Each structure stands twice: as C-alpha cells, then as structure tokens.
Structure 1
Amino acid sequence: MSATPIEAMLFDKDGTLFDFHATWSVWAHDAILDLAEGDMDLARHVAREMLYDYEKMEFLPASPFIASTNRQCAEHLAAVLPRTTVDEIEGFLSRSAVSAPLQPAVPLAPFLDELAGQGVVLGVMTNDAELVAHAQLRSAGVADRFAFIAGFDSGHGAKPDPDPLLAFAAVAGVAPSRTVMVGDSTHDLVAGRAAGMLTLGVLTGTALTEDLAAYADAVLPDIGHIPAWMATR
C-alpha cells in the first residue's frame, strides 16, 4: 500500500526555516541589554529569567521564550522590568525582531521551489507576530512562496492549539491527513498531531532528537532533508 500523498506543508519559522541559535540567540544578547537600558547587572538578571546564557550567547533548551508568543514573553519579563509595561515590552520585542540577523537553515528559495514544483502548497505558522513573520520572509526573499503566513495574532490562535494549522489546511484546500507540520519544538509537533497531520521534527532549534521523537513521524537534521524523506515514503 502506498503512503498518503503529501499535498501541503506548514512550517514553523524560528528554529525551522531559520536556525534558532544563529538568529535568535545572537539577537537576544543585544535585545536584553536594550531592555535593561544598559544596566549590565539587570541584563544578567533578565537573561537568567529567560534561561539565556549571556556569556555563551544562547538560549537554554528549557527556556519558555523559545515557543512563546511575544505577549507571553512580555508578561514574563514585566516581572523583572518593573519600570516597563507589558505593552511596551511587547512592542519592543516586535520592533527589534524585524531586524534580527536571520540565518536560514538552508538556502530557502531553491528548497521551497523544489517542494512547490512537486505541487506542495506551502505555509508558515509562527508564535511570533504576523507582521514580523511577513517582514522576515520578505527580507529572506521567499514570502511569495507561501500561500499562508500566520502569527499568534492572526486570529487563529497559537501553537500548540491545532486551530491555526487547520486554518492553513482550509486555505490550502488540502485535508489535514495530507498535510505535514514541520517544526523544531514539541509545541509544533503536538499541534500537528492534534490537527491530524503528519509531523516532522528538525534539529535547527534547541530540542534534541529524544525531545521530538515521540511526537514526530521522523526527526531530520534540517529542512533540507525533507525532499529525500518524501522520496522514501
């Protein structure tokens, strides 16, 4: 019996399309100091709250900021930045994220074109803001490859809720069972399973194979291995 054909693929953004540490761990180093208004002691305190190693310039795997929305991050940070409101922190995170030093996990344009050439409808669902997602994908030169780009604030909900994934399937006109959710966190894969989709884990975030394996149909080093995985199904 042949495998169910894959007709649509939904990608997480950070840690999936873009290497997490090369992009966000680098961005966080300066962003934390900006939030602390140059106070290095406060910056280190903020880093500890974020589970971010300021010396190594990397998020720790258990950091709640890896899969959280900007609002959730802001609410958490407000507890250690009492002179700054949640709204101000959220606004800063959204503005500064637009200029994050994006590092694609693989050359994105040829990779996405290869999938589209096989008739696969492509989308992005991130727990980042939709405005940031559009800006970053435009900066990477690939926004036009996606039929669907959504963030936590797009009106569909946020992962691990399956609703934004089902919204993509509806836009794509593809059954969830013929759709793949690709992500670097359990949030992504739990959402995919709840939506009735195939799930692929990638190791360009902070999670290890053993973190993702229980929720994934396969765990790959990065998205560049997806065409070979599809060919072997």
Structure 2
Amino acid sequence: MRVEAILFDKDGTLFEFAATWGPFARAFLLRVAENDPDRATRIGHTVGYDMATDRFDPDSVLIAATADDIARDLRSSLPHLSHAALVDLLNEEAALAPQAQHLPLAPYLDALLGRGLKLGVATNDSEIPALSHLEAAGIRDRFEFVAGFDSGHGAKPGTGQLLAFAAHVGLDPAQVVMVGDSTHDLMAGRAAGMVTIGVLTGLAGADVLAPFADAVLPDIGHIPAWLDR
C-alpha cells in the first residue's frame, strides 16, 4: 500500500534528544532545588539523569514518558510540591527548552509536502510545549495534526494519537509511516497497523529499535531515499 502520510515523534526525532533535554533537565532540577547543585543532582538521579555528566540512563523516565509520569516519580523527592504543581513546572521549563535541529527542518518538511504527503506530530510531551517548540522552529504550519499526551488521545505506546491522526487525514493506518526514536513510538506504530521507522537521533541504538521497526535509519533525512526505494 502506498505511503500517503508521515507521523513524527518530536523529541529525538525532529529534534536531537540530548542537545534539547539535557539543558531542560538541568534548568528544571536547579529550579526545584533552589539552585543547590548537590540537591539537584540527587533529585536528578530519581528520574535517571546525572547532572554532573549530563547523561540519561537508558530507562530514564525523562526519555519517553509524559509529564504526569515524571511528576509522579519526582514526588518523593519534592513532597512540598503537589503533582499538579510539578506538571506545571515541567511544562513551563519544557516550553523553554532549546530545540536542536539535526537538519534544517523547514526545507526538509517542504520537500515531503511537495511529494503530496500529509504530516503530523505525536509526542508524549504536553501539547502546549510541543506547539511552542514547533512554532519556535518555524515549522508549525507544516503539520496538519499535533497531539501531546494531554490532547485527549492518550500517550504512546498506546495507539490513540496515531489512529486519531489517520482519521484526521482520512487514511487507512497502513498508509501512514510512524517515525520515532524510541520503542514507545514503534510499538505504538505496530499496534496501530502503521509502517514503522526508527531513527538514531535519540538515545536508543539500532539493536533496541530494530525488533519493532520496518527500517532503522540514521536520521529523518534518510526517509526520502527510503520512500523512493
């Protein structure tokens, strides 16, 4: 079946993960630790981030989970903050996170649109920060559909966001490619009946992504050649 649409994950896919979320994690942790680096480092360890080395554990909740999940894991270290307050703080800092583009996204997306493809974004980030990031990169208008975990369709690896995109653009899920850097993205794509492409601009290696992917590519820039094949 011919590919008619591409649904992208955001972090680690459209934008490089470490260059974006390392600064976010550091800023957030220092904020909630009242600029105490030692306390910030201790809090960071509870969510799988080492501030001293700027490294994420492979299973860090910060990699693919939602703000709700992250706030839940932080509560034991920050009992004076409510769950809702933590989510608000996470979203505020996320909206400010610098987005590192692996390649110039505007001309890249324009070339995909020139092929007649419909484009969307499905992220486990919250919707408002996601829209802020796309706006800041000057690419919001390239996407017909943008969904965060709080947009009413659930979060990945659930299929809600993916099936909502397919319905929005009027396509069979089999005509859609789901592109992502984590197993959450690819498992959701498989469960939704979509073609799946893993990219290596996140923290997961090819060996981790391959069992859930129809193809594993170095980055999204290789998708046009893959489509041509």
Q: TM-score, normalised by structure 2?
A: 0.98
What does residue range 150-229 of structure 1 map to in structure 2 within 5 Å?
A: 150-229=147-226
Show CA shifts across 1:182-233 (max 9, x none): 000000000000000000000111100000000000111111110011111x
What is the correspondence of 1:30-49 to structure 2 with a 5 Å cutoff? Answer: 30-49=27-46
CA distance in 2, matches of 1:216, 1:121: 21
1:90 aligns with 2:100: no
Name the counterpart of 2:103.
106
Partner of residue 61 from structure 1, selected from 58, 82, 98: 58
Moved over 2 A (4+): none
1:50 maps to 47
Cα deviation digits, residues 156-194 of structure 1 (max 9, x gap) = 111000111000000011110110000000000000000
2:10 alignment counterpart: 13
Q: Which piece of structure 1 moves more, 48-57 or 223-232?
A: 48-57
Residue in structure 2 matching 1:137, options 134, 137, 147? 134
Distance 1:142 1:58 in 2: 29
Which of 72, 82, 91 lines up with 1:75 in the alignment? Answer: 72
What SS is found at the alignment partner of 1:65? helix
Shift of 1:104: 1.2
TM-score (norm 1): 0.96
Aligned counterparts of 1:105 and 1:160: Cα–Cα separation in 2: 24
Aligned to 1:156, what secondary structure does the other structure show?
coil
CA contact (8 A) 1:201 1:219 kept: yes
User: How far apart in 1 are the matches of 2:203 and 2:57?
Assistant: 7
Count of residues in Structure 1 that have an aligned counterpart in Structure 2: 229
- Percent identical: 53
TM-aligned CA deviation for residue 80 of structure 1: 0.9
Structure 2 alignment gaps of length 5 or more? none
- Residue identity in the other structure for 1:30: A
Cα deviation for residue 69 of structure 1 reads: 0.6
Q: Over residues 46-100 of structure 1, what are the superposed CA-to-partner deviations in whole Å (9 max), with x where a residue is unaligned? A: 1111111212212222212211111111111011111211111110110111111
